[in-house]
Amino acid sequence: MGKSGFVKAKVNVKMSPGEMLRTLRELQELSQADLAKATGMSQSNISSLENGARNMGRERALTLAKALKVHPAVLLFPDFDMSEIAS
């Protein structure tokens, strides 16, 4: 079957910054303690961010993004949809 037989999947999953943080951490097989050590944050702070009890903010996003090797926007705007931008 050629490429023309496939239809691109459209998956829109709404995630909060905390849910994205947890997802990225788990995909990299890091515990909260591992991420805390890599960022200099406490494990309880990581937990609060993942559970939405604490807002991430720019500075925390920069620190976490560096440790997780992603762009900070991935954490701050996890449900951003480029198709919503008018061309």
Flag whether 35 is in a domain: yes
Flag whether 86 is in a domain: no
* 87 residues of the chain, pLDDT tens digit each: 566 677 766 666 789 999 999 999 999 999 999 999 999 999 999 999 999 999 999 999 999 999 999 999 999 998 887 777 765
Of 17, 26, 10, whose CA–CA distance to 74 is shortest?
Answer: 17
Q: Report how far residue 38's alpha carbon sits from residue 36's, in angstroms, rounded to the nearest whole number.
A: 5
Amino acid identity at 79: D
Q: What is the CATH number of the domain that holds 52?
A: 1.10.260.40
- Cα 76 to Cα 5, 29, 49: the distances in Å are 36, 21, 12
Of 52, 55, 58, 86, whose CA–CA distance to 71 is shortest?
Answer: 58
Flag whether 10 is in a domain: no
Domain count, the chain: 1
State pTM to two decimals. 0.81
